[in-house]
Structure 1
Amino acid sequence: MKIAVVSDTHMPRFAKALPLALREGFAREEVALILHLGDFTAPEVAERFAAVAPFDAVAGNNDGPELQQRFGRRKVLDVGGVRIGMTHGDGDGRTTLARALGAFAPAEVDVILFGHSHAPYCARHGDVWVMNPGSPTDKRTNPRYSWGVLELREDGVFPALHYYDDKSAGGDHGSSSG
């Protein structure tokens, strides 16, 4: 099973529609679930993702009360026996990574997904995979837009980050993985 991981879409400010490269990536990877790690900034953004595949999320610091009530700020999902911790990663003190790691008790999860910094990150911390997919619409100081995939297989969890250059809803986009 493949799970798409996105965060920090900040729509409609940074994009009016889901980027073509992102939609094509979802199709190419044949994602069965999409997880969003907050900062939608508009409730209808959740519906755009839900129209593509089954969907779940947590709200971020730029999301209003409707999204916070609908999704909450922290959750643990069990997907095929893999415990996935989701948090936006904002808060006081420490780094975004440190806040994400601190959001879950030891051995509570197999994977921690977080956003907030817009900086792609994927590394193993002990027995736990930790991923920030970056942003598919607001790359900030990063060279490319990004999103992630978690592949859940019988032999383990395999995360990957995917990058692209053009966030437009159509046209040439220079999509590639990396």
Structure 2
Amino acid sequence: MRLLLMSDTHLPKRARELPAELLARVREADAVVHAGDWVDEATLDLLEARSRLLVGVYGNNDGPRLRARLPEVARAEFGGVRFGVVHETGAAQGRERRCEERFPDLDVLVFGHSHIPWDSTAPGGLRLLNPGSPTDRRREPYRTYMTAVAEGGRLGEVRLHRLPPRRVTPGR
């Protein structure tokens, strides 16, 4: 299964729309995972309409309407790999230990919140992935998202994609 991982889209606050490259990847993916902070329902509607399978959670910036449509934690199995999705995992220090204790039944945990890409493996084998943000790089050099392949009970081809800088239109 080809997976597209994203988080922290913050539309329309941080950008007017999702990047074209990301939308093209949505059409190619067997499943799309969004780790929260959508901010608007239109982004959820768009991804639901364009995705074969969408797994998402709400984030700290998502209001009551998004929280009514999305869980705080989601679980799914892709290609025999047990995934969890959550928005916040707390401070970077101690993250692997905390997440392994909270999610002992998972192989992979996708999270967001920080806008900082993250890829690590906890001592017990839990893989932690944060795809960053495709719309708001904050202090990072690039806006980002991830792709991966899950098959035969293994996660492979995990790749962080850097999006080109947004063009600034004169007069805006």
TM-score (norm 2): 0.84
The more displaced of 38-47 and 72-81 is 72-81
Matched letter for residue 67 of structure 1: L
Matched letter for residue 32 of structure 1: D
How far 1:17 sits from its partner (Å)? 1.4
SS of 1:117's partner is coil
Aligned residues: CA RMSD: 2.2
Is 1:110 the counterpart of 2:107 in the alignment?
Answer: yes
Alpha carbons of 1:45 and 1:10: their partners in 2 closer, same or farther (altered >3 Å)?
A: same
How far 1:117 sits from its partner (Å)? 0.2
Identity of aligned residues (%): 31
How far 1:90 sits from its partner (Å)? 5.6
Q: Distance in 2 between matches of 1:97 and 1:149?
A: 25
What residue ranges of structure 2 are gaps of 5+ in the alignment? Answer: 168-172
The 8 Å contact of residues 131 and 146 in structure 2, kept in 1 or not, is answered as yes
Q: 1:174 matched to which residue of 2?
A: none
How far 1:69 sits from its partner (Å)? 2.0
How far 1:18 sits from its partner (Å)? 1.3
Q: 1:72 matched to which residue of 2?
A: 71
SS of 2:21's partner is helix
How far 1:103 sits from its partner (Å)? 7.1
Between the two proteins, the alignment pairs up a number of residues equal to 163
Q: Distance in 1 between matches of 2:166 and 2:54?
A: 21
What residue ranges of structure 1 are gaps of 5+ in the alignment? Answer: 169-178
Q: Distance in 2 between matches of 1:4 and 1:114?
A: 13
**Which whole-Å deviations, capped at 9, do the CAs of 1:96-150 have from their partners, x for residues lacking one?**
87287267332x1000100000001112223221100000000001111100112
**Which whole-Å deviations, capped at 9, do the CAs of 1:30-71 have from their partners, x for residues lacking one?**
211111100001111111222321212000000011211211
The 8 Å contact of residues 90 and 96 in structure 1, kept in 2 or not, is answered as no
Q: What are the within-5 Å matches in structure 2 for residues 27-176 of structure 1?
A: 27=27, 30-53=28-51, 54-89=53-88, 94-95=91-92, 98=95, 101=99, 104-106=102-104, 108-126=105-123, 127-154=125-152, 156-158=154-156, 159-167=158-166
Matched letter for residue 66 of structure 1: R
SS of 2:102's partner is coil
How far 1:21 sits from its partner (Å)? 2.4
Is 1:8 the counterpart of 2:5 in the alignment?
Answer: no
